[in-house]
Every structure is written in structure tokens, then in C-alpha cells.
């Protein structure tokens, strides 16, 4: 897959995204730079399509994996031999949180530059390309605000060039994003491309190949998702009309998921994947897959199980009880902690032998047989008992190493499966019309197809599994919809985490933790579920007044402070 290579060559041939518009005069006169007849916004636009979703390794590791993918309950740390406890990320660490803030905040200049390039009078004036930029800006800000809450928004791109922008409320940000989406959809109208020749986004649009009608349906689906999320929040005065409008217009349908194929050749320092961390950090950084996710897949015969995870490696392990003189707490809690593991194995239907010899327990498991997920957020005091071979690890589709052949699951931007699931949710809540069961099953089918599940396996699942049927109470049916949305966003931790915060499902995740002899509370009060990431540490010095106004309105700059729309 060479599209990223072509993208970078195109960018290098023109200029960097941070260059000012005046730089184009030099391009037009310097024979060593590209000529005016060859310049196009599409070479710049590709970067904005890639960078928010596939950052360089530092941010991929610290923002995605350490925080959002683990808050989503999809991945866990803390096994024996792992460098970190699974409390990492739940206990505030300025360096790790700053990586997420710096990633999003660092893209503001890119977004602003592209808006200016493509607006009337801009260097690459094109109303239709500008509409695509507005849609990308909208999704970027949705991710940004749903990670931190109140953020600078209305004054970021002000004509007054405000250096210390205020933090806007999430309600106002949501309304502003939906207004931008409406403007973009209106501008696109019936157009199918941004123009001819250099004006056509074509292959430089790594998501939709320049198909404007798909971008229009993307925008409308994003509008529906945000309106559904805002529905019922304090002071909400726009979601119902936005939901009505979105449901009355075309949404993403079969085969229209917004995905970015991962490049398995380009340097991890520019564009990273899970595999870069998995293969290059060493065994001490290996992670397991979360219990809730494995349980839902395994217990419901979900055909995504082997697409998502590998069975536990198995083997023979000796769990040694510490001596009372060296570790009194570990000695006293050894029976409770090992019984916790044994219960986990039993509830997973695992094959194993358990030989309790008093001062030690010998556990033997067949290789590559059991599907056991590791509970999220286990205490670091449990690490010596958490053998890596006990638990499922990510599949090769997730951790496919670069330059080794093979395939990798694409990066998720927005799923057509979620479009159907959101419509099913709207029907169940009385906010829309249609057949909730049909929409629900179409959502599952589309989500499974992203992971290469064949239609025969999908159809068998939909016909035979109870979780595929909306045959319960409204609350029971809604729970199924939320769970399927959460499952579909595996490896898309930002969105999966938002689904848990918004819906309260899976309930065992949303409840947080309370037994600190087994679990780690981190720095979240009473072991609560993380609701947001803390702002970048530089803000208190660089924009103190607006920072203080934000926390005064939103609540303390802590991980446990709920966002405007959170349930």
C-alpha cells in the first residue's frame, strides 16, 4: 500500500502545512519548487485525512493505547513481566496525558491553513474542497471535545487572530459543528467531485477517493451521532431537530465505512500502528485484550472473535505465595487473589488444571485454546499472578508487523455499521421510524464486514444468537445496540470510550472499581470510571485565565469530571 508514500512526496514537493500563504508566491517564481499550474489543495488535504487518526508512534502509544483504548476496556496491561501496572493511565501522569492534548492541539494550525487555502480568495479557492475540509474539521473537533470537554473553539479561527482563545462549552461546540456540517452538505448539493484534473481530490482522498456524495452522507451520519449523544443533556435545545433532519436525509449505507488503509511500509515515526509498539517495545510492553470484550465475543459465538484476538498462549505456570516476612499483604491476600483468577477461568469456560500446593499453585493450560480476557485496571499488586499466557492477545490483524507481508485492519474514521445502529437506537427511543431489528442487524453485518467476516458466518450469527435479536424490553434492546456499537469500535478507543460514557454500557466498565485488594483506583476518586483526559499541563501557564474559567464552569481538571453529555 503506497498511498502514504505518494502523499508525503506530494507534500514535500509543495511546502509544509505550517507555511503561510505568502509562500506560494515563491513557489510560482522559484524553478526548484512546483509551479502554480501544478499546485492543488488535494496535496495538503491528505495530511488532514490521515494525521488525526494515524499519528506518529509517540502519540499513538501514549494517547491511543495507554489511555483511550484501555479506558474503552479493549486492552489491558499489568501481566507478570510487564513494565507497567494496569493502573497506568488511570493514575495521572503528565507526560502521557500531554501527548493526547499536544496531538489534538497541534493540528489546529493544519485545519486553519486548509480552511484559508480553500475559502473564497484563498490560494486554492474551491467551495467543494472547502466543504470537505469543513467535514474533516467537524470530526476532528468532535474527537477533541469528547476527549477533554470544554476546549478553544469559536475564537480559534477568528479573523481577529486571538492568541489566547476562550474555552467554549460542549453544547456550543456541538451546535457549531452541526452548523458547519449543514453548511458543508448544502455546498456539496448534488455534486459528485470537487472538480476536474488538479481540482479533483481523486486518490489523494484516502477515505472516499473524491466521492462527494459519500462525504455528504458521512457528514449527515456524524450529525446524527452527535445529536443522539447530546439528546437529554442539560440545556439541550437542538438535538431533536438535528436528529429529525439527519434521519430525513441519506446516511452512510452498505460498504460506505470511512476507513484508512494502514501503510505497512512507511516509518513508524511518521505514521504508526499498534504493531510498531507491539514489536518494537519488547515483551515488557505487550498487552492483553479486556475481559468484557472477550466475554461478549466468546459467549455469543461472535465470528469476530478470531479476527479480534488470539487465544491465550497457555503453558504451565507456578504462582508463588510470598512469605509473610517479606510481603504480609501479599501473603494474606494470596488465597483471595488466586481464587479470583480461578473464578475468572471457570467463568470463561477455560480448560486448565489447578494444583494448589499451599505455598504455591501450579496452573497448566493447553496452548492456544482458551479465550480469556484480562479484567481491566487490576492492581499492580496482582502483577506477579497475572501470567501473560493466561489471556488473549490482539490478533495479527491488529498487530501486523510492517514490511513482513500480511494484512492489517484499517483505521476507523466513521462506520456505516454505526449509521445503522444509531438509526436502530433512534427507533427504539421513539425518535425515528423504521424497523429497529432490521437496522440493528444491518449495523452488525456492516461492522463485521470491516473485519473481513464472510457473509455466511454473519448470517448464521444473526439467525441463531440471542444477542442479535431485539426481543426484550426497550432498555434491554438499547443495551444490545450500545454493546454492538462498542464492539464495532475495537481499535478505535476514542469512540468506544465515548460510547461507554454516554450509554453506561458495558455496565461493568462504567461502574469503575471498588475492591482495591484486586483493582487499582488510580487518581480517580472512589475508583470511578474515567470521564475525560486532563488538559495539557502547559495551559495553566500559557492561557491561565481561560483555563481557570473552563474548570470553573466544567468542573475540576480531573479524569473523573463528567462531560456535558455523559450519563
Residues 106-142 as b/e (b if ≥16 CB within 10 A, e otherwise) read ebbebbebbbbbbbeebbbebebbbbbbbbbbbbbbb
The beta-strand segments (E) located in 177-300 are: 258-260, 288-289
- Asked if 403 and 264 touch (Cβ cutoff 8 Å), the reply is yes
- Asked if 194 and 126 touch (Cβ cutoff 8 Å), the reply is yes
- Asked if 148 and 101 touch (Cβ cutoff 8 Å), the reply is yes
Query: What DSSP character marks residue 562?
Result: P
Handedness of CA 8, 13, 18, 21 (dihedral sign): negative
- Asked if 292 and 373 touch (Cβ cutoff 8 Å), the reply is yes
User: What's the pTM?
Assistant: 0.93
The beta-strand segments (E) located in 119-224 are: 151-152, 167-168
- Asked if 389 and 313 touch (Cβ cutoff 8 Å), the reply is yes
Q: How high is the pLDDT of residue 37?
A: 60
Q: How high is the pLDDT of residue 36?
A: 53
Residues 310-320 as b/e (b if ≥16 CB within 10 A, e otherwise) read bbbbbeebebe
What's the Cα-to-Cα distance from 193 to each of 24, 199, 205, 257, 415, rounded to whole Å? 25, 9, 11, 18, 22
Of 213, 98, 75, 204, the closest CA to residue 147 belongs to 98
Of 325, 366, 357, 315, the closest CA to residue 338 belongs to 357
Q: How high is the pLDDT of residue 484?
A: 98
Distance CA(300)–CA(289), nearest Å, equals 17
Which residue positions in the chain have pLDDT lower than 70?
1-38
pLDDT digits (tens, 9 = 90+) for 515-552: 999 999 999 999 999 999 999 999 999 999 999 999 99
DSSP states of 219-243: HHHHHHHHHHHHTTSTT--SHHHHH
What's the Cα-to-Cα distance from 90 to each of 14, 110, 158, rounded to whole Å? 43, 31, 36
Q: How high is the pLDDT of residue 13?
A: 35
Residues 438-470 as b/e (b if ≥16 CB within 10 A, e otherwise) read ebbbbbbbbbbbbbebeeeebeebbeeeebbeb
- Asked if 247 and 228 touch (Cβ cutoff 8 Å), the reply is no
Q: How high is the pLDDT of residue 264?
A: 78
- Asked if 498 and 146 touch (Cβ cutoff 8 Å), the reply is yes
Handedness of CA 493, 496, 502, 503 (dihedral sign): negative
Distance CA(394)–CA(411), nearest Å, equals 15
Number of neighbouring beta carbons within 10 Å of residue 98:
19
- Asked if 415 and 141 touch (Cβ cutoff 8 Å), the reply is no
Q: How high is the pLDDT of residue 244?
A: 98
Amino acid at each position: 500500500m503506497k498511498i502514504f508514500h505518494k502523499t508525503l512526496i506530494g507534500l514535500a514537493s509543495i511546502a509544509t502545512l505550517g507555511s503561510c500563504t505568502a509562500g506560494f508566491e515563491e513557489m510560482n517564481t522559484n524553478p526548484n519548487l512546483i509551479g502554480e499550474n501544478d499546485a492543488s489543495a488535494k496535496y495538503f488535504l491528505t495530511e488532514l485525512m490521515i494525521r488525526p487518526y494515524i499519528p506518529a508512534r509517540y502519540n499513538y502509544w501514549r494517547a491511543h493505547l495507554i489511555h483511550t483504548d484501555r479506558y474503552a476496556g479493549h486492552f489491558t496491561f499489568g501481566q507478570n513481566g510487564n513494565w507497567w501496572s494496569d493502573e497506568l493511565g488511570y493514575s495521572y501522569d503528565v507526560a502521557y496525558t500531554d501527548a493526547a492534548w499536544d496531538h489534538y492541539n497541534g493540528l489546529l494550525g493544519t485545519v486553519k491553513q486548509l480552511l484559508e487555502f480553500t475559502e473564497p480568495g484563498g490560494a486554492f479557492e474551491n467551495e467543494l474542497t472547502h466543504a470537505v475540509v469543513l467535514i474533516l474539521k467537524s470530526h476532528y473537533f468532535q474527537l477533541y471535545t469528547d476527549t477533554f470537554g470544554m476546549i478553544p473553539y469559536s475564537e480559534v479561527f477568528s479573523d481577529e487572530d486571538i492568541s489566547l482563545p476562550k474555552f467554549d462549552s460542549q453544547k456550543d461546540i456541538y451546535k457549531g459543528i452541526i452548523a458547519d456540517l449543514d453548511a458543508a452538505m448544502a455546498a456539496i448539493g448534488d455534486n459528485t467531485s470537487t472538480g476536474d484534473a488538479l481540482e479533483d481530490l481523486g486518490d489523494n482522498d484516502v477515505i472516499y477517493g473524491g466521492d462527494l456524495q459519500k462525504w455528504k452522507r458521512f457528514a449527515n451520519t456524524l450529525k446524527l451521532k452527535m445529536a443522539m449523544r447530546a439528546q437529554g443533556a442539560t440545556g439541550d435545545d437542538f438535538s431533536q431537530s438535528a436528529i429529525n433532519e439527519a434521519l430525513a436525509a441519506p446516511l452512510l449505507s452498505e460498504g460506505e465505512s470511512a476507513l484508512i488503509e494502514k501503510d505497512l511500509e512507511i516509518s513508524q515515526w511518521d505514521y504508526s500502528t499498534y504493531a510498531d509498539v507491539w514489536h518494537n517495545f519488547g515483551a515488557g510492553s505487550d498487552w492483553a485484550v479486556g475481559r468484557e470484550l472477550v466475554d461478549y465475543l466468546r459467549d455469543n459465538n461472535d465470528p469476530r472473535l478470531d479476527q479480534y484476538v488470539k487465544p491465550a498462549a497457555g503453558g504451565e505456570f507456578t504462582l508463588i505465595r510470598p512469605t509473610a516476612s517479606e510481603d504480609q499483604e501479599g501473603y494474606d491476600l494470596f488465597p483471595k487473589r488466586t481464587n479470583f483468577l480461578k473464578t475468572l477461568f471457570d467463568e470463561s469456560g477455560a480448560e486448565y488444571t489447578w494444583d494448589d500446593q499451599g505455598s504455591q499453585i501450579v496452573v497448566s493450560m493447553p496452548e492456544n485454546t482458551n479465550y480469556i480476557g484480562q479484567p481491566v485496571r487490576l492492581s499492580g499488586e496482582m502483577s506477579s499472578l497475572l501470567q501473560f499466557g493466561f489471556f488473549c492477545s490482539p490478533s495479527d490483524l491488529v498487530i501486523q508487523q510492517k514490511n513482513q507481508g500480511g494484512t492489517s485492519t484499517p483505521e476507523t474514521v466513521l462506520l456505516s455499521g454505526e449509521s445503522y445502529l444509531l438509526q436502530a437506537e433512534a427507533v427504539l427511543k421513539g425518535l425515528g421510524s423504521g424497523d429497529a431489528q432490521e437496522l440493528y442487524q444491518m449495523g452488525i453485518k456492516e461492522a463485521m464486514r470491516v473485519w473481513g467476516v464472510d457473509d455466511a458466518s454473519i448470517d448464521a450469527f444473526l439467525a441463531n444468537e440471542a444477542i442479535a435479536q431485539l426481543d426484550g424490553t426497550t432498555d434491554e434492546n438499547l443495551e444490545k445496540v450500545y454493546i454492538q456499537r462498542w464492539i464495532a469500535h475495537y481499535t478505535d478507543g476514542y469512540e468506544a470510550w465515548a460510547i461507554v460514557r454516554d450509554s453506561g454500557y458495558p455496565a461493568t466498565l462504567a461502574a469503575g472499581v471498588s475492591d482495591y485488594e484486586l483493582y487499582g483506583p488510580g487518581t480517580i476518586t472512589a475508583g470511578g470510571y474515567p470521564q475525560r483526559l486532563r488538559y495539557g499541563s502547559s495551559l495553566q501557564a500559557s492561557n491561565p485565565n481561560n483555563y481557570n474559567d473552563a474548570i470553573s464552569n466544567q468542573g475540576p481538571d480531573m479524569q473523573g469530571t463528567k462531560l456535558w453529555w455523559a450519563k
